[in-house]
Amino acid sequence: MDEHNCNHRFLGSDSLIHSFELEKDKYKPAYFYSDDGNTKITEDKYGTKLYAIPIDEFVKVFRQECKRSKAEDGVIYRRLAWALPLLTRMKNYQPLENLHVVLFYH
Protein backbone atom coordinates (compact mmCIF):
# COMPACT_ATOMS: atom_id res chain seq x y z
CA MET A 1 0.00 0.00 0.00
CA ASP A 2 1.51 3.36 -0.95
CA GLU A 3 1.55 6.36 1.39
CA HIS A 4 -1.23 8.20 -0.48
CA ASN A 5 -3.64 5.31 -0.05
CA CYS A 6 -2.58 4.94 3.58
CA ASN A 7 -3.41 8.61 4.26
CA HIS A 8 -6.82 8.28 2.66
CA ARG A 9 -7.55 5.03 4.40
CA PHE A 10 -6.80 6.20 7.93
CA LEU A 11 -7.64 9.87 7.79
CA GLY A 12 -10.19 9.86 5.01
CA SER A 13 -13.88 10.56 5.34
CA ASP A 14 -14.35 7.33 7.31
CA SER A 15 -12.00 8.49 10.07
CA LEU A 16 -13.47 8.78 13.55
CA ILE A 17 -11.73 12.13 13.81
CA HIS A 18 -14.10 13.50 11.19
CA SER A 19 -17.01 12.81 13.54
CA PHE A 20 -16.18 16.14 15.18
CA GLU A 21 -17.10 17.91 11.96
CA LEU A 22 -20.63 16.55 12.24
CA GLU A 23 -21.00 18.22 15.64
CA LYS A 24 -18.87 21.31 15.09
CA ASP A 25 -21.72 23.65 15.99
CA LYS A 26 -21.42 22.57 19.62
CA TYR A 27 -17.79 23.78 19.78
CA LYS A 28 -16.46 27.30 20.08
CA PRO A 29 -15.14 28.92 16.90
CA ALA A 30 -11.35 29.21 16.85
CA TYR A 31 -8.72 31.25 15.03
CA PHE A 32 -5.03 31.99 15.03
CA TYR A 33 -2.95 34.74 13.49
CA SER A 34 -1.00 34.30 10.28
CA ASP A 35 2.72 34.96 9.97
CA ASP A 36 2.12 38.69 9.59
CA GLY A 37 0.68 38.81 13.12
CA ASN A 38 -2.44 40.69 12.02
CA THR A 39 -4.49 38.43 9.77
CA LYS A 40 -6.90 36.10 11.56
CA ILE A 41 -7.02 32.57 10.15
CA THR A 42 -10.55 31.22 10.74
CA GLU A 43 -10.61 28.30 8.33
CA ASP A 44 -8.27 25.62 7.06
CA LYS A 45 -6.88 25.17 3.55
CA TYR A 46 -10.11 23.43 2.49
CA GLY A 47 -12.39 26.22 3.68
CA THR A 48 -13.56 24.40 6.82
CA LYS A 49 -14.17 26.74 9.77
CA LEU A 50 -11.86 26.20 12.73
CA TYR A 51 -13.36 25.17 16.05
CA ALA A 52 -11.96 24.27 19.46
CA ILE A 53 -12.54 20.71 20.74
CA PRO A 54 -11.94 20.09 24.46
CA ILE A 55 -8.80 17.95 24.70
CA ASP A 56 -10.46 15.22 26.79
CA GLU A 57 -13.14 14.68 24.12
CA PHE A 58 -10.55 14.69 21.36
CA VAL A 59 -8.17 12.24 23.07
CA LYS A 60 -11.02 9.79 23.67
CA VAL A 61 -11.92 9.68 19.97
CA PHE A 62 -8.27 9.86 18.89
CA ARG A 63 -7.47 6.80 21.00
CA GLN A 64 -10.30 4.90 19.24
CA GLU A 65 -8.91 5.98 15.87
CA CYS A 66 -5.46 4.66 16.82
CA LYS A 67 -6.94 1.29 17.83
CA ARG A 68 -8.85 1.16 14.56
CA SER A 69 -5.71 2.01 12.62
CA LYS A 70 -3.75 -0.77 14.32
CA ALA A 71 -6.55 -3.31 13.80
CA GLU A 72 -6.75 -2.52 10.07
CA ASP A 73 -3.03 -2.36 9.28
CA GLY A 74 -1.25 -4.13 12.14
CA VAL A 75 0.42 -0.90 13.31
CA ILE A 76 -0.81 2.52 14.30
CA TYR A 77 -0.64 4.96 11.39
CA ARG A 78 2.65 6.89 11.76
CA ARG A 79 1.11 10.35 12.24
CA LEU A 80 -1.24 9.08 14.90
CA ALA A 81 1.40 7.06 16.77
CA TRP A 82 3.38 10.04 18.05
CA ALA A 83 0.45 12.43 18.49
CA LEU A 84 -1.57 10.31 20.93
CA PRO A 85 1.12 10.15 23.67
CA LEU A 86 1.79 13.87 23.30
CA LEU A 87 -1.88 14.86 23.57
CA THR A 88 -2.49 12.42 26.42
CA ARG A 89 0.47 13.84 28.33
CA MET A 90 -0.78 17.38 27.77
CA LYS A 91 -4.25 16.39 28.97
CA ASN A 92 -3.01 14.61 32.09
CA TYR A 93 -0.04 16.74 33.14
CA GLN A 94 -1.95 19.84 34.17
CA PRO A 95 -5.62 19.33 33.44
CA LEU A 96 -6.82 22.69 32.18
CA GLU A 97 -10.42 23.39 31.35
CA ASN A 98 -9.33 25.70 28.56
CA LEU A 99 -7.01 23.23 26.78
CA HIS A 100 -8.47 22.48 23.33
CA VAL A 101 -7.51 20.91 20.01
CA VAL A 102 -8.10 22.79 16.76
CA LEU A 103 -8.21 20.63 13.64
CA PHE A 104 -6.48 22.25 10.66
CA TYR A 105 -6.29 20.32 7.42
CA HIS A 106 -3.71 21.41 4.87
- The mean pLDDT value for 65-94 works out to 86
Average pLDDT of the chain, as a whole number: 82
Higher pLDDT, 6 or 20: 20
Q: How confident is the model at residue 54 (pLDDT cuts 50, 70, 90)?
A: very high
| Rounded Cα distance, 68 and 75, in Å | 10
In DSSP terms, which residues pair with 39 in a beta bridge? none
pLDDT value at 9 more than 60: no
